[in-house]
Structure 1
Amino acid sequence: MMKRKDENIKLSGKVTIGATISFPETTEDQAPAVLFIAGTGPGDRDGNVGKFKLNIYKMIAEELTKAGVITIRYDKRGVGETEGDLNKSGMWDLVDDAQTALEYLRSHPNVDKEHIYVLGHSEGTMLATALNERTQVAGLILLCGAADTLENATKYQRELMYEEFNLEKGFKGWLLKKLNVVEKSEKNAQKIFNRMVETDKDMIRIQLIAKMPAKWFREHHNFDLFGVLKNTTCPVLAINGTKDVQTRLENVYEVPKLVKGPSEVHAIEGMNHILREQKETVSIQKIKGFYKSQSNEPLHPELMLTITNWLKKVYNKESANWRLINDHVKSGCNITSS
């Protein structure tokens, strides 16, 4: 019999990875499991990036363990207890780390090896899709980024920024137009992207100060996300939020057109990229400050209900764990950051 607990562990892969595996309270020897793959940036296992203490993945993990599911989440390269340098790491290095965590789950005696799911958030949706092509899992949960490439997502964010520039009034608006800020900004962005694609270095410097992860961008650029999705046969849950300004909402509806296996798509009203409820419209120029102000806010109330409901459908094994998921769906869930 397992008691609900968190266990901090070290995983041996291409680098040593710091991780947390969380166990539910269950009467069975084995339970389904979910592996978390984080979004872009130097994030820790809980979903915190620098000053942004968001605890995204910690909160989701706590809800899933209540539903009878084992979870594992880990620090990204060069963060927390994980070795390496994120600036010099490529997309496939990050997939390697996810595979290390997946293989650990597959070897764990308490994990139902036929029911290991991968949850990717933001860039993690791309990495989860790539991981599933390499070694198929029981299902994919793609949050805020399904059917969206890195280049398309960053282009969308720049377009929103330029729209805001063009709407500026008064002296600021006049100055932006006079200095051709939109045209110069886009030209500079394309110049940087071309440098990263054309170089064979892991990292480049822009104006001798900013470090740009060239290997990471180059490997994303060369990754055929849509081709891989077309070969995906496992069940897929794709969720976007209507207030997300970091990925295009309508892309989520491309998932059923691409994948071969069963898929379910949700656009959660009022959910933003950090999985919180957002009622107001927020400028993309001020989005970081707004995210920081939401640090102590709970997850969007519909998010975990949607995830656990889907797990109930795909994990169709009659067991105590299945009943735990079913009971959790009925009771609803809403957890606050701590």
Structure 2
Amino acid sequence: MRNFFLMLTALMGLAAPVCAEEAAGDWSGTLGNIRVGLHLTKDSDGHYAGFMQSLDQGGVKIPLDSIAATPDTLAYHGVNAKLGVDGRYEGHWDDAQKAWVGNWRQGGLVPLTFKRTATADMPVARRPQEEAIAANPHPFPSEDVGFDNASAGVNLMGTFSRPVGAGPFPAVVLIGGTGQNTRDEEGYGQKAFVVLADALNRAGIAVLRYDKRGAGQSTGDYDAATTADFAADAEAAVTYLASRSDVDPKHVGLVGHSEGGIIAPIVAGHLPSVSFAVLIAGVTVPGDQAALLQLEALDRANGKSETEIWKELALLQQAYAVIRASKNPEDARTQLTAAARPLIESGAYSQSQADDTIALFTSPSRYWLLRYDPAADLQNVHIPVLAIYGTLDLQVPPAGHVPALRAGLKDNPDVTIVELPGLNHLLQHATTGAPAEYALIEETIAPEALKAITEWVTRHTTP
């Protein structure tokens, strides 16, 4: 999901006449082919606060910091880890256009002009499934809970919901995908885990969903964590869930999406108390291969030529080979910096593009993932497994992952693999499967996906 702004590059525009303007208010513009909104407020002390919004991706907000506004200039920094956004805007007031004219910088420079707009013009995406849940709250008891990963010194906060009655009930831990996710798996204007938890509760299953470490109300350093750390947090979630008097400790399972589909087999192999696992769009090949499969699928969907695709893949294969052979992130950073120098000197890449890419590849989470091979962890899973994929998933293409899943679980007698036609990485009905569609689709999770998950879990938790 980190392809939101990363591939946009352009030349800086020419300066234009300047006059004075107050930055507070609502503004809109276009970044590449993506409409963005800008909302700024100013307090009595003259301090600014605000956010950008991806208007074509469900109005997802990008919090701003380091906002510096004068009557003639505007600058700020915006970050949204879920979208892979970490960039800076710098602009000036053009009185002729009645607009802030500048550039968004993330790797390259992308022209971005903001014109004033009315707050009412900011679109609000509809989410019928979520709206139905909010309008007709289910009768299932729900409570905010907390539990600790004591070894890491992390306190994790979440929501526990269960069917009506005394129980004990079969239960699942929902494990989110890549990004600084909260308990609702909120992204692209959607709350996928709200919908999934509701469906499971209605099927008689208790649910624990929680904020990732460093996200929402959970403590810890998200940026310093790897998937292995998140797996340890999930183990703490299972231990907490099994300790509850209203939960049947013999029927505690895992439901993991994307990165959560990596975490679930790790946890299942470590904890005998886990009795089943559901892998949604689970990654089953080595991390570097998964990244290449994703890039190839996305490039083809974006209409790139075969020459462009293979050139890009070849370059990344070289980078990933360095990462696999490196001793640690610092060693990888040194080698990649040296390898990038000829590309920078030739003009193929700018220094900032190279720096941003190297920083991403050597960050704790990405470095760990690129070197991780899930084969051994899959072989350690001896409990029932449901693996569910959408045929239009371009981020975890089933053709690249299902064969590895079958191989890894070949000695497991209870494995069900379901490929649902026309669904994307988020299990929505899609047209192309491209991430740009995610927020434009009103559906949060396809009904047939919810049915496949709840019916399978029910079968494996009913005496």
Q: TM-score, normalised by structure 2?
A: 0.58
The yes-or-no answer on 1:113 pairing with 2:264 is no
Give the structure 2 partner of residue 158 of structure 1.
Answer: 295
Cα shift at 1:183? 2.0
The size of the alignment, in residue pairs, is 297
Give the structure 2 partner of residue 293 of structure 1.
Answer: 440
Matches of 1:165 and 1:110, distance apart in 2: 49
Cα shift at 1:197? 6.4
Cα shift at 1:34? 0.6
Give the structure 2 partner of residue 329 of structure 1.
Answer: none
The yes-or-no answer on 1:23 pairing with 2:162 is yes
Give the structure 2 partner of residue 145 of structure 1.
Answer: 282
Q: Secondary structure of 1:81's partner?
A: coil
Contact 2:390 2:420 in 1 (8 A): yes
Q: In terms of mean alpha carbon deviation, does 156-165 or 305-314 score higher?
A: 156-165
The yes-or-no answer on 1:194 pairing with 2:332 is no
Give the structure 2 partner of residue 281 of structure 1.
Answer: 432
Cα shift at 1:292? 1.5
- Aligned runs of 1:185-334 on 2, under 5 Å? 186-187=314-315, 190-191=318-319, 194-195=322-323, 198=326, 200-201=328-329, 207-209=354-356, 211-212=359-360, 214-250=363-399, 251-259=401-409, 260-278=412-430, 280-282=431-433, 287-294=434-441, 296-317=442-463
Q: Secondary structure of 1:117's partner?
A: strand
Matches of 1:263 and 1:163, distance apart in 2: 31
Cα shift at 1:12? 1.6
Cα shift at 1:42? 1.5
Contact 1:256 1:264 in 2 (8 A): no
Q: TM-score, normalised by structure 1?
A: 0.78
Contact 1:21 1:70 in 2 (8 A): yes
Q: Any idea what the Cα deviations from partners look like across 1:18-65, whole Å, max 9, x if unmatched? A: 211112113x4300001011111111111113xx22211111001101
Matches of 2:296 and 2:317, distance apart in 1: 12
Matches of 2:240 and 2:202, distance apart in 1: 22
In 2 relative to 1, CA 165–315 (structure 1 residues): closer, same or farther, beyond 3 Å? Answer: closer
Contact 1:148 1:247 in 2 (8 A): no
Give the structure 1 partner of residue 216 of structure 2.
Answer: 80
Give the structure 1 partner of residue 147 of structure 2.
Answer: 11
Which structure shows the bigger proportion of residues in helix conformation?
1
Q: Any idea what the Cα deviations from partners look like across 1:219-269, whole Å, max 9, x if unmatched? A: 334544112212221000011111111112132354344322411111111
User: What are the ranges of 5 or more consecutive residues in structure 2 without an aligned counterpart?
Assistant: 1-138, 334-351
Cα shift at 1:315? 1.4
Q: Secondary structure of 1:86's partner?
A: coil
Q: Which has the larger radius of gyration?
A: 2
Give the structure 2 partner of residue 101 of structure 1.
Answer: 237
The AA in structure 1 aligned to 2:457 is L
In 2 relative to 1, CA 65–124 (structure 1 residues): closer, same or farther, beyond 3 Å? Answer: same
Matches of 2:140 and 2:302, distance apart in 1: 50
Q: Secondary structure of 2:418's partner?
A: strand
The AA in structure 1 aligned to 2:328 is D
In 2 relative to 1, CA 249–8 (structure 1 residues): closer, same or farther, beyond 3 Å? Answer: same
Backbone CA RMSD of aligned residues: 2.8
Contact 1:140 1:235 in 2 (8 A): yes
The AA in structure 1 aligned to 2:420 is I
Which structure shows the bigger proportion of residues in strand conformation?
2
Higher relative contact order (Cα pairs below 8 Å, separated by 6+ residues): 1
In 2 relative to 1, CA 104–195 (structure 1 residues): closer, same or farther, beyond 3 Å? Answer: same
The AA in structure 2 aligned to 1:200 is N
Q: Secondary structure of 1:88's partner?
A: coil
Contact 1:120 1:128 in 2 (8 A): yes
Q: Secondary structure of 2:251's partner?
A: strand
In 2 relative to 1, CA 117–181 (structure 1 residues): closer, same or farther, beyond 3 Å? Answer: closer
The AA in structure 2 aligned to 1:60 is L
Cα shift at 1:147? 2.6
Matches of 2:325 and 2:186, distance apart in 1: 29
